[in-house]
Structure 1
Amino acid sequence: MAQETTQAPPSARTAPARALLPFILPAVVVGVAASLLFVGVSTAAEQLQRVLWGPLPDALGVGRWSVLWMFVMLTATGIAVGLVVWKVPGHAGPDPATLGLNAPVLPPAVLPSLLLATGLMLAGGPSLGPENPIIAANVSLAAWLGGRLMPRTPGTLWPVLAESATIGALFGTPVAAALVISEALAGQPLRGRLWDNLFAPLTAGACGAMTTTLVSHPTFDLGLPPMGHPRGTDLLAALVIASVAAVLGMCAVYAFPYVHAAFRRLRHPMLMLPAGGVLLGGLAALGGHLTLFKGLSELGQLARDPEGWSAGEFATMTVVKLAALLVAASCGFRGGRIFPAVFVGTALGLTAHALVPAVHPSLGVATGVLGVLLAITRQGWVSLFTAAVLVASPAILALLCIASLPAWLLVTGRPQMQLHEDGTPVR
């Protein structure tokens, strides 16, 4: 009787160095260029924001954070972005509700209007971040220029490099880019080892992150007090807060197609966007000025004084910011959903701390952000990474990993906060 043998499947072969070296130069160029575009748009928007929300209302004798000025500015931003979408060539690209982090390659003629609409949105106050349109612009520019300047380089490489570079620039570290790309590669057949496939994207992400760090010195650490050795009650709090945050985020996800359909019935950007601005002005009146904009600098104000607001005030900011994110993403403003979702999770975590002082503020913030991001982005690694970076407390890492499990069970397999062209949610 012949002896049966079981042969293990061959492992993926490691690529030789000479196969990876040609990708270094394109990755470096894309990384630096993507970061400079992000910093340029962000800086221009910040300068415009300082004028619109500082000297201009002061000169008019109106309080810069008064209900009147917030209402006027958000409505005016809706009109301005509506004009760009209506009249400027390219019309600011496709419906932003149909876009995620994996952006399509757009024609170069679309990009000026897309970047203009993004800058106006960032300066005017709607609750969206720069990530989606900046990724789309960098992906399109890299694919268009790379295909002409280096035609022998595989065309599929340029979007991956641009996305990695932009994510590295946005978060100030290439780790986020590596996590996103590795998650995207998880369901695809790989040629060679995973690290070989990550070599060029990681190079682009590192260059993008380093360029942003040298130019604008970003930081995500909120400066919250570090957490000591975890206890059993901390584990229970982490599980509860992350799960509640995931459920809250899913409320916005389920409402997204209906709110988007309501705005689409208006049929014209000069109706949809101003109407969205009016609603955002009303929400700002309820939640206050901290619920405006993408939310990063406002997060710092909350973190500097976690005891400065009551549980009711934190809860109000949580609900208002989530509603503002839902409206801004539905009515046609060009922007991403990660940064405002981080604000929602932070405010929710501080609500938990205000209700139960035994909940450490760092634990509340980290687990709140984790749950909301899992629901809004469906990006597990990015959610864990962002939650951990915000509090910079190594003791929380194990709790975050455990808390992510029930939160993921609540969101996986359900609709995402992204729509198909026909308005149905992506799953």
Structure 2
Amino acid sequence: MAQDTAQQTSASPASPARALLPLILPALVVGVVASLLFLGVSALAEQLQDVLWQHLPDALGVGRYSVLWMIVVLTATGVLVGLVVWRAPGHAGPDPATLGLAAAPMPPAVLPGLLVATALMLAGGPSLGPENPIIATNVALAFWLGRRFAPRLPGGLWAALAEAATIGALFGTPVAAALLISEALAGQQLKGLLWDNLFGPLTAAAAGAMTTTLVAHPTFDLHLPALGRPGWSDLLAALVIASAAALFGMVAVCAFPYVHAAFSRLRHPMVALPVGGLVLGLLGALGGHLTLFKGLGEVAELARHPDGWSAGQFATMTVVKLAALLVAASCGFRGGRIFPSVFIGAAFGLFAHALVPAVQPALGVSAGVLGMLLAITRQGWVSLFTAAVLVASPAILALLCIASLPAWLLVTGRPQMQLREDGTPIR
């Protein structure tokens, strides 16, 4: 049987090099442009964030993260984003609750409003990341420009290149893109070998990742104390934390269509988004400023002092951040759900460490992030990759792979945190 399989594999037709070589230049261009657009929007949002959360409150003599200021800024962010969604051409894209990482090309006229709404969201503090709108923008640009200047290449190729390039840029490595694309291709009938199909997207992802690395020097490593030789207690902790985090994440997933329906009854974006912003401001006042924004910088702050908060404080931040993600994703803010889920999982893992000090912080964080991402994204490889890269400990990989199995059984086949246009959840 093994010999027959080997013969069939060796006989599988591979795309000739002359068919793959023409993909290199378009992939490199898409990768660099996708990364620069992501970096540009991020830089603009960071400058605006400094104005809103540092310069302006200092000039007014109010606390940067006082309760009043959090409520005012987040409500005002809802008003501004609502105005963009209401008046911009194309209403800043479709309802974000219906979108995942994969995106159909939008008309170019929609993109300015989408980018403005994304930058305002990132600066104002709602608990969403940039991934979904940036991917959608890059897909639309690549598709439109690619069909215009290289019409002989298939239209679907441009979307694949842009998605891979943006994921590579977001994570600073092409590995995440390769894993995500491999997972997407798993159920498809491929023409040629897997690496033939990955060649163009992986080139784009590498170009996007290298551009981000050279310009911004990103790192996901939280510099937590390294996990030593794992023991049986570590395996038990990983299994329990990952499964518990997955179940906790499923609470938000199951509530998602109901919360979305409640905001949909408000009908107008100039009502739904300001109300959502007000709720997020109240949640921020409850959970503190670390529960605002997309969460990556805040995760790093938690990791610098893993024993700096009590179990109750970690639990409060975990619950508040999950509620904030649920509200922000339901009321119409343009953004993705991966990065805030990382904060939720990390806070959940540190809660476990504070509750049971024998649980090492690196193990708690990685297992918590794994379970939360499995529940929120249903992307197995990306969940494993993100959980592992946060702690940069080779010893933890085997534990995470084992812990992912019961966590996956808890989430697979159940509703996802993405809705159809009629408001029903995708399974």
TM-score norm. by structure 1 comes to: 0.98
CA distance in 2: counterparts of 1:344 and 1:54, whole angstroms: 25
C-alpha distance after superposition, 1:293-350 (max 9, x if no partner): 0001111110000010000000000000000000000000000000000000000000
Question: Which secondary structure state, in structure 2, belongs to the residue aligned with residue 18 of structure 1?
Answer: helix
Q: Give, as a single letter, the amino acid of the residue that structure 2 aligns with 1:423.
A: G
Q: What does residue 91 of structure 1 align with?
A: 91
Q: Give, as a single letter, the amino acid of the residue that structure 2 aligns with 1:10.
A: Q
Q: Give, as a single letter, the amino acid of the residue that structure 2 aligns with 1:22.
A: P
Q: What does residue 139 of structure 1 align with?
A: 139
C-alpha distance after superposition, 1:359-415 (max 9, x if no partner): 000000000000000000000000000000000011100000000000000000000
Question: Which secondary structure state, in structure 2, belongs to the residue aligned with residue 91 of structure 1?
Answer: helix
Q: What does residue 222 of structure 2 align with?
A: 222
Say if 2:170 is the partner of 1:176: no
Q: What does residue 8 of structure 2 align with?
A: 10
C-alpha distance after superposition, 1:267-287 (max 9, x if no partner): 000000000001001100110
Structure 1: which 4+ aligned runs deviate by more than 4 Å?
6-9
Say if 2:314 is the partner of 1:318: no
Q: What does residue 236 of structure 2 align with?
A: 236
Note the C-alpha offset of 1:7: 7.0
C-alpha distance after superposition, 1:215-236 (max 9, x if no partner): 1111100110101000000000
Q: What does residue 117 of structure 2 align with?
A: 117
C-alpha distance after superposition, 1:144-171 (max 9, x if no partner): 0000000011111000000000000000
C-alpha distance after superposition, 1:96-148 (max 9, x if no partner): 00000001110000000000000000000000000000000000000000000
CA distance in 2: counterparts of 1:265 and 1:155, whole angstroms: 37
CA distance in 1: counterparts of 2:349 and 2:8, whole angstroms: 47
Q: What does residue 36 of structure 2 align with?
A: 36
Note the C-alpha offset of 1:88: 1.5
CA distance in 1: counterparts of 2:378 and 2:399, whole angstroms: 19
Q: What does residue 281 of structure 1 align with?
A: 281
Q: What does residue 68 of structure 2 align with?
A: 68
CA distance in 1: counterparts of 2:104 and 2:62, whole angstroms: 42
CA distance in 1: counterparts of 2:342 and 2:300, whole angstroms: 12
Q: What does residue 381 of structure 2 align with?
A: 381
Q: What does residue 21 of structure 1 align with?
A: 21
Counterparts in 2 of 1:154-233, with a 5 A limit?
154-233=154-233
C-alpha distance after superposition, 1:41-65 (max 9, x if no partner): 0000000000110010011111001
Q: What does residue 417 of structure 1 align with?
A: 417
Q: Give, as a single letter, the amino acid of the residue that structure 1 aligns with 2:167.
A: I
Note the C-alpha offset of 1:13: 1.6
Larger displacement relative to structure 2 (11-20 or 60-69): 11-20
C-alpha distance after superposition, 1:15-66 (max 9, x if no partner): 2211110100110000000000000000000000001100100111110010
Question: Which secondary structure state, in structure 2, belongs to the residue aligned with residue 313 of structure 1?
Answer: helix
CA distance in 2: counterparts of 1:359 and 1:395, whole angstroms: 15
Q: What does residue 266 of structure 2 align with?
A: 266
Question: Which secondary structure state, in structure 2, belongs to the residue aligned with residue 391 of structure 1?
Answer: coil
Aligned residues of 2:88 and 2:110 also touching (Cα < 8 A): no
Question: Which secondary structure state, in structure 1, belongs to the residue aligned with residue 8 of structure 2?
Answer: coil
Q: Give, as a single letter, the amino acid of the residue that structure 2 aligns with 1:292.
A: L
Q: What does residue 128 of structure 2 align with?
A: 128
CA distance in 2: counterparts of 1:76 and 1:150, whole angstroms: 43
Q: What does residue 394 of structure 1 align with?
A: 394
Q: Give, as a single letter, the amino acid of the residue that structure 2 aligns with 1:13.
A: P
Q: Give, as a single letter, the amino acid of the residue that structure 2 aligns with 1:189.
A: Q
Q: Give, as a single letter, the amino acid of the residue that structure 2 aligns with 1:168.
A: G
C-alpha distance after superposition, 1:224-249 (max 9, x if no partner): 01010000000000000000000001
The number of aligned residues is 422
Q: What does residue 246 of structure 1 align with?
A: 246
Question: Which secondary structure state, in structure 2, belongs to the residue aligned with residue 327 of structure 1?
Answer: helix
Say if 2:338 is the partner of 1:333: no
Aligned residues of 2:84 and 2:113 also touching (Cα < 8 A): yes
CA distance in 1: counterparts of 2:155 and 2:103, whole angstroms: 15
Q: Give, as a single letter, the amino acid of the residue that structure 1 aligns with 2:143.
A: A
Note the C-alpha offset of 1:10: 3.4
**Structure 1 segments unaligned to the other structure (5+ residues):** 1-5
**Structure 2 segments unaligned to the other structure (5+ residues):** none
CA distance in 1: counterparts of 2:89 and 2:188, whole angstroms: 37
Indicate the percent of aligned positions where both proteins have the same amino acid. 78
Question: Which secondary structure state, in structure 1, belongs to the residue aligned with residue 92 of structure 2?
Answer: coil
Q: Give, as a single letter, the amino acid of the residue that structure 2 aligns with 1:32.
A: V
Q: Give, as a single letter, the amino acid of the residue that structure 2 aligns with 1:103.
A: A
